[in-house]
Amino acid sequence: MSPFSSEKRKNPFQYCQGIDKSLTALMRKIGAAADRNGLQAFLIGGLVRDIFLARDLDLWDIDIVIDSDSASFARALARQFDAKVVIYKAFYTASLFVTRGRRIDLSTFRAETYARPGALPQVRKGDFLQDVQRRDFTINALAIALNKKCFGALIDPGQGYADLKQKRIRVFHDKSFCDDPTRILRAVRFEQRLNFRIERHTLQLLKAALKKRKETRVKAPRYFAEFKKILMEEDPLKPLRRLSHLGGLTFIHDPLQLDIRFIRKVYNHRALTGRWKGLVQPEQRWLFYFLAILKGMPERQVRAIVSRFQLSNEEKKAVLQSAGFSATVAYLNNIQLRPHQVYARLEQLTPVTVLFVRMATRRAVVIRHLERYLDQYRHVKLKVDGNDLKQMGIAAGPKIGVILKELLYEKIDHGLKRRSEEMKAVRKIMEGGKGL
C-alpha cells in the first residue's frame, strides 16, 4: 500500500510559517537532498502534531524517516549543513547536530517486535506502514512528505488527523500498553497537556494494563524516566491528579495517597517564582514535585524507593535529606539559635532541600531562619584567606580551614564589614584557643 494514498491537504507548513519560517526552508532542503539521493523522506512525530494544533513548536528536536539507509543520508546532510553526525547502526538511526544546537533525528523505516511485554523492542528494517504502526498513538504518527513532487502532503494511515480534530488519544492496537507500559504515562501526559481525552477503548486497555500491574514488567529506572516527564510538564498537577485517579502511582509505593493540595502549594510557591528561583536550575524543578509526593513517608520507605530508580547523586541527596524534613524543622524551631548555627545546619543541605523545607513548613520561627539564610547568611564571604593566616605565622594544614570556618561564623553573627575587623577577629580566635 503506498503511503501517498492518504488525502493531500493544504500544505501543513503554512500553519507554522508565522512562528518560524526557517522550518519550511529546512524541510525543503532535506526534501531536495532526498530527491538527489533517490529517497523518500518524511517529517513525522510530535512536531507534525503540534503544527496542526498551532502550538509552540519544539524546533530543536526534529524526526525524519526515510525509505533507505539513514546513515548514508545523514552523512550526506552533514556535509551539506556542515554538521556533526552520530550513527546508531543497531537501531537504523542517526542524529545530526546542526546550527545553534538544533538536532535532526533520521531513521530508516522500521518494524518492532517485543520478546516479552515490557521489554525493549527488537528493531528491524520495515516499510512506511510498519514504521507508523509501531508508534505510541495515532496523533504522534502523522507524517508530512518532504520530496519536491509531493511536498507538504499529509500521510495519515492511522487516521491521526481525525483524532486530532476529535481531541482524542488512541493507540494502534490492543497490545500497545502490554508491549510498552510506559505508554500509560505518555497517554496521560499528552491527554492533560493537550486538553484531549483518552478514547474509550484505549482507556479500557490502559486501566486493564494498570490492574494487571503491567508497569512492573518494565525496568524501574526506565519507567521512572517517563514519569519524570510528567513532573517536568509546565503544569504537572493535572496529569498527576489524573494518574492518581486511575491508580497509576502504585509503581512508586502501594498504597500511595497523593496530597494534591500540597502539590498545588508547591507549584504556586514563590520559592519557584520569586527571588529564590535562580537557586536551582529549571531542569531540577521536577524534584520539588517528587519530594511533595514522598512527603510524610518514613525515611526507610523513601530509601527503598530511591534505590529502585536511577537518580543522580545530587538528586538522591536532596530526596534523602528531605525525608529528614521533621528533624530539620525541629532543629530550626528555636528562636534562640544564633545565625551561624542556622547557617551550619542549612549549608549541609542541597538548595532543593532548603527550598522544599521553606515550602513545606508553616512555623514562623523556622520560616524566619530559612529566609534569613537564603537572603543573607549564604551570601557572606570572607575578605581574609589562608595566605593571610600564613603571614600571621599559622602553619599550613587543617588548622587554617578550622580558623576560617570560625571566622566565617563570627562574620555571620556580628556582620563584620572590613578586612581589618576580620583580622582582629582572627587574633581573638587564636587568643581564645579556637581552631587550635
Q: What is the pLDDT of residues 32-48, one digit of tens each?
A: 999 999 999 999 999 99
Overall residue count recorded for the chain in this entry: 436
276 and 349, same domain (yes or no): yes
pLDDT band at 3 (very low <50, low <70, confident <90, very high): very low
DSSP 57: P
Residues 305 and 197 in one domain: no
Is residue 145 within 8 Å of 34, Cβ to Cβ?
A: no
Q: Provide the pLDDT for residue 436.
A: 47
What confidence score (pLDDT) does residue 210 get? 96
Q: Please give the mean pLDDT across all residues of the chain.
A: 90
Nearest-angstrom CA–CA distance, 359 and 305 = 22
Q: What is the pLDDT of residue 79?
A: 92
- Do the Cβ atoms of 289 and 360 come closer than 8 Å? no
Are 174 and 218 in a shared domain?
yes
pLDDT given for residue 57 in this prediction? 79
Reference 57, options 98, 16, 22, 27; nearest CA is 16
**Which of 253, 270, 300 is where one domain is finished?**
253
Query: Are residue 46 and residue 107 in the same domain, yes or no?
Result: yes
Q: What is the pLDDT of residue 282?
A: 87
Instruction: Grade residue 5 by pLDDT with cuts at 50, 70 and 90.
Output: very low
435 has a pLDDT exceeding 50: no
Q: Which residue has the higher pLDDT, 22 or 245?
A: 245
> Of 177, 184, 128, 180, which is closest to residue 156 (Cα–Cα)?
128
Higher pLDDT, 239 or 388: 239
pTM summary value: 0.88
Mean pLDDT of 71-87: 92
- The per-residue pLDDT for 10 is 53
Same domain, 75 and 16: yes
Same domain, 97 and 141: yes
DSSP H helices in 197-338: 200-211, 220-231, 237-246, 260-268, 270-273, 285-294, 299-308, 313-323, 325-332
Question: What pLDDT is stored for residue 25 in this prediction?
Answer: 87
Mean pLDDT over 361-387 rounds to 95
Q: Which of 148, 166, 184 is the last residue of a domain?
A: 166
The boundaries of the domain holding residue 133 are: 3-166
Same domain for 184 and 89: no
Q: What is the pLDDT of residue 12?
A: 66
| pLDDT over 90 at 58, yes or no | no
Q: Is the domain of 318 the same as that of 401? A: no
For the domain that residue 346 is a member of, what is the CATH number?
Answer: 1.10.3090.10
pLDDT single digits (tens) 145-166 = 999 999 988 999 999 999 999 9
Cβ neighbours of residue 317 under 8 Å, at least 6 residues apart? 350, 353
How far apart, in whole angstroms, are the C-alpha atoms of residue 206 and residue 211? 9
Both 338 and 283 in one domain: the answer is yes
Query: Does residue 372 sit in the same domain as residue 407?
Result: no
pLDDT category at 253 given cuts 50, 70, 90 is very high
| Torsion angle in degrees (nearest 10) through CA of 280, 288, 188, 298 | 150
Same domain? For 349 and 400 the reply is: no
Q: How many domains does the chain have?
A: 4
Q: Does residue 391 share a domain with residue 371?
A: no
| Confidence bin at 274 (pLDDT 50/70/90) | confident
**What local confidence, expressed as pLDDT, does residue 8 receive?**
43
